[in-house]
Amino acid sequence: MTGAARASSTTRDIARAAVRAELGQVAFELFCREGFDKVTVDELAAAAGVSRSTFLRYFGTKEDAVLAAFDGHDRRLADAVRARPAGEDDWTALRHALDTVIERYHRDPSGALATMRLVRDTPALWARHLEKQHRWGPALAGALAERAGSTGPATLAQSVRAAAALDCLNVALDHWTASDGRLDLVVLLDEAFAALAAR
């Protein structure tokens, strides 16, 4: 049965999420140690103690096992933008919304650093990540539009600002990664936004 299934489900989902996290963790460590494309799905499955089938059921692709770490960022970012005061200009709202994301980098710098390195150094991962991240743009722009009271789709200006904000994040992360996490991400982000403002 099953009438009222949907929504907030139960033990099963929790277990699933836990397994998924575990698989992701195992995969991540193997990738870091051996290199992303030196590890086959069979090896991942073996290392995690499940079958190849199961692994591929949890993560549709090898890439997803790593990139799942970024899932939900778009949602969180958009929510953060919507939570900013109504009168605030787009740039300020975007800049503050990004604090939501970089918080993770402060909580676990070495893990974040390792993830960044793995993703950036693996073309297949980097490509997939860019594709996913590119989709944050419209989500962010939509949030800007809502804030502005619009019901329709985002304007060109809002889209550009959202995309530029994400570039700031990426460039700041570039420099942060290059510095082995020694530089301050907040400072780098501020600097990046300042570069947009300067004529």
Residues in contact with a copy of itself by CB under 8 A are 89, 91, 123, 126-128, 130-131, 134, 156-161, 163-164, 167-168, 170-172, 174-175, 188, 191-192, 194-199
Q: Kindly state the tokens that stand for 16.
A: 């699933």
b/e 32-67 (16+ beta carbons within 10 angstroms → b): eeeebeebebeebbeebebeeeebbebbeebbbbbb
Q: Which residue has the tokens 């604090």?
A: 99
Stretch that binds DNA, among 25-33, 39-47, 74-82, 184-192 (CB under 7 A): 39-47
Compute how many other C-beta atoms are within 10 angstroms of the C-beta atom of residue 119. Answer: 23
Q: Which partner, DNA, a copy of itself, none, binds residue 57 by CB below 5 to 8 Å per kind?
A: DNA
Q: Which partner, a copy of itself, DNA, none, binds residue 198 by CB below 5 to 8 Å per kind?
A: a copy of itself
Stretch that binds DNA, among 47-55, 71-79, 163-171, 173-181 (CB under 7 A): 47-55
Answer whether 173's CB lies under 8 Å from 195's CB.
Answer: no
**What is the C-alpha separation between 13 and 30, in angstroms, rounded?**
26
Residues 4-23 that bind DNA (CB under 7 A): 10-12, 16, 19
Question: Is 50 or 144 the residue whose CB approaches a copy of itself more closely?
Answer: 144
